[in-house]
Amino acid sequence: MLNINKLSASILAFELKRLFHGAATKVSLLVFIISGLLAIYLGANSYKALRIDQVKSAIVFKKEREHIQQREQLPEMGSLAYYAHSPTAWQLSPWTALFVGQSQNNLVAMKVNALALQGQIYNKELINPSKHRTGGFDLGFILAYMLPILIGVLSVNLLSEERQSGRWRLLSAFANHSAKKLIWRALLQRFVLVSLIISLLFISSAVLLSLPFDGMFFTFLALSLTYTAFWFFVAALIMSLNKSSLYNSLAFIASWLVIAVLIPGFIHLGLSSQFTNAEPLKASTTQRLVLNDGWDQDKQAALEEFVQDYPQYREKIAYEADFHWKWYYAMQQLSDLSVAENWNTYIAEQQQKQSWLTRLSVLSPSLLFQMQLNKLAGSDTQAHSAYIDSVRQYHQQIREFIYPYLFNDTPVTSEDIDTFPLFAEQISIEKPQILPSSTPLSDYAWLVLLGLTCVLAGVSRQRFNKLRVS
């Protein structure tokens, strides 16, 4: 028994030595680990800075309210609502530090007032309606795009190297398929090594960001390990072709380019050409023109149109001066309503685009994997749209809060400032759950990836069993 243990230890030591043999392996491991740690560090700093900005905005707004309350003469509501830019906040999960999704492209702490909302959303943020990327340099990018390259370096030439060294022919002479078991054992060792590195990256992230080791943590980890297994079986399938090292390397790089780069690129290109972004530009231009032209048109007629939606103020629309705040804010609302159809069309198109992107993502495990990471982190396009919807609801609260003061000419008191509505977003990050029958399969990347991985495992194992000694 002692001799068997010594032999097993010697074999393990030999294979570990082979595992870390070669400059390419060591450099690849080092680059991957450093890149992962750098992505975590940058993401953590970015997330903390974002949260600090959101808190500062809330504190500044609170102090501004206190300053106004201390004035001897309070401003009228029209002036107060014009200068009061109330902070909003996209309540991002700490996981967005690792999987940034749309949080890097869009404002996450907008300040809004009672003026026309469409201009506030899109004039301040020109990239919002048109440039939605899947993600940037974050842990999701490292796992989705750099991890497969590391796996290729570690594993794709295992069989060809064994053939070149002569060990494959020698071990094939023994019974029990010793040569094939050697390759599978080497693959398993490399999978365990990469899995440990990924686990350490997630643990480091949890410590740095104070993330709980809950179901969400293990869901991210399980999804990442499934994606890792997928690429190891891609390497195994290429090895089973029993070609040269050069052929294997080129085949793996070609597979990575097709799966991780070309297919996602064609999907995004096709969807971008089918779903244009003309509506946001048209709506922004039209909204501004309607607002500017309102100064030269019949102001009383504008108020008549406004009270069709707010009939409770129908008896309060008359005024004698050339300007009144109630006309000004009524005109702001009318300019928003004038482009409501454009925005509804744009939102519907974006929903269709996202729906198609979700369906087509099954063609690319890399795209599917990264989209699911962003979805679990609450940083995907749907989550940002939910934030914008909450901003729209808050803007409506502000408008309807100030209307009674404007149309009734009610002076502002210190107590009124205390009751000014504050933003409160209802955040709901999707938790892992059993697949319901009404949910598209593509929304559950771990099931799709697991299915693809099982297929690759079966095919590669079958081809390995048919390998001949040569």
Q: What is the pLDDT of residue 101?
A: 85
Residues 117-134, mean pLDDT to the nearest whole number: 58
| Residue numbers of the domain that contains 375 | 2-286+319-466
pTM, entire model: 0.85
Stretch 340-369: mean pLDDT = 88
For the chain, give percent helix, strand, coil, nearest 5: 75, 0, 25
State the DSSP code for 110. -
Alpha-carbon distance of 297 to 235, in angstroms, equals 70
Whether 117 maps to a domain, the answer reads yes
pLDDT (tens digit per residue) in 33-45: 999 999 999 999 9
The pLDDT tens digits for 423-467 are 985 443 444 333 333 344 445 666 878 888 899 989 988 887 776
pLDDT at residue number 382: 86
Lowest mean pLDDT among 4-8, 220-224, 320-324, 465-469: 4-8
Highest mean pLDDT among 16-20, 98-102, 260-264: 260-264
297 within a domain of the structure (yes/no)? no
pLDDT of residue 434: 32
Q: What is the tens place of the pLDDT at every residue in 319-348?
A: 877 888 999 999 999 999 988 888 888 888
Query: How are beta strands 86-87 and 111-112 bridged, if at all?
Result: antiparallel
Domain count, the chain: 1
Tell me what pLDDT residue 236 has.
Answer: 92
* Distance, CA of 59 to CA of 108 (rounded, Å): 16
User: What is the residue-wise DSSP string for 221-289?
Assistant: HHHHHHHHHHHHHHHHHHHTT---HHHHHHHHHHHHIIIIIIHHHHHHHHHHHHS--HHHHHHHHHHHH
**Mean pLDDT on 253-260:** 96
The pLDDT, as a whole number, for residue 134 is 46
Each as own residue / partner, the long-range contacts of residues 353-356 (CB below 8 Å, 24 or more positions apart, any chain) are 353/271, 353/274, 353/275, 354/381, 354/382, 356/271
Q: Could you tell me the sign of the dihedral formed by the alpha carbons of 220, 225, 230, 234, in that order?
A: positive
Instruction: Establish if 122 belongs to a structural domain.
Output: yes
Identify whether 303 is part of a domain: no
pLDDT score of 167: 61
| Cα separation, 103 vs 51, whole angstroms | 12
Q: How confident is the model at residue 177, as a pLDDT?
A: 55
Average pLDDT value for residue range 379-383: 87
Residues 393-415 have a mean pLDDT of 92
300 in any annotated domain: no
Q: Which of 153-157, 181-185, 186-190, 400-404 has the highest mean pLDDT?
A: 400-404
Q: What is the pLDDT of residues 73-102, one digit of tens each?
A: 888 999 999 998 999 988 889 999 999 888
Residue 276 covered by a domain = yes
Asked whether the beta carbons of 51 and 97 are under 8 A apart, the reply is: no
Residue 441's pLDDT is 42
Residue 126 has pLDDT above 50, yes or no: no
Inside any domain, residue 62? yes
pLDDT attached to residue 367: 93
Q: Is residue 362 part of a domain?
A: yes
- Cβ distance 252 to 152 under 8 Å? yes
First vs last Cα of the chain: how many Å apart?
35
Looking at residue 174, its pLDDT comes to: 53
- CA 284, CA 281: separation in Å to the nearest integer? 5
Residue 273's pLDDT band (boundaries 50, 70, 90)?
A: confident
Looking at every residue in the chain, the average pLDDT score rounds to 83
Residue 142 is classified by DSSP as I
Query: Given this model, what pLDDT does residue 428 score?
Result: 39
The residue whose two tokens read 């399969």 is 441
Q: What's the pLDDT score for residue 432? A: 38
